[in-house]
Amino acid sequence: MGKRASERIPVCVDVELDCCHKVRGTVLNISEKGMFISIKEMCFPFDPRIKVGIPFNEDILHVPVKLRRIEMSPDSQDGIGVELAVPSEAYYNLVENLRAAL
């Protein structure tokens, strides 16, 4: 397996996903390119274009992402891997703040 393009930062941040319907999840790791979001109740179909609402600076940062993978297993955390569709300065600031908090 190859090295990732950007470092993943372990976090635990509750988020809301808008993908045909509202779904709540928890970001378990995040990077400049994307994030892995744990979801307790997977609801299908999943639209490949999703908006993730992340709390940041007393507001909600709405981040458009693309679905890259779905993980469902009885032995591990169910969730989705997503990639940023449109990177923004605000998102990069969020990642830097999380990195500094480690």
Reported pTM: 0.86
- Whether 84 and 52 have beta carbons less than 8 Å apart is answered as no
Per residue in 53-101, pLDDT tens? 999 989 999 999 999 988 887 766 689 999 999 889 999 999 999 999 8
Per residue in 8-39, pLDDT tens? 999 999 999 987 778 899 999 999 999 999 98
Residue 59's domain spans which residues?
Answer: 9-100
Per residue in 34-58, pLDDT tens? 999 998 877 666 677 889 999 998 9
Instruction: Please state the φ and ψ torsions of residue 92, each to the nearest 5 degrees.
Output: -60, -35
Q: Is position 3 within any domain? A: no
How many domains does the chain divide into? 1
Q: What is the CATH number of the domain that holds 44?
A: 2.40.10.220
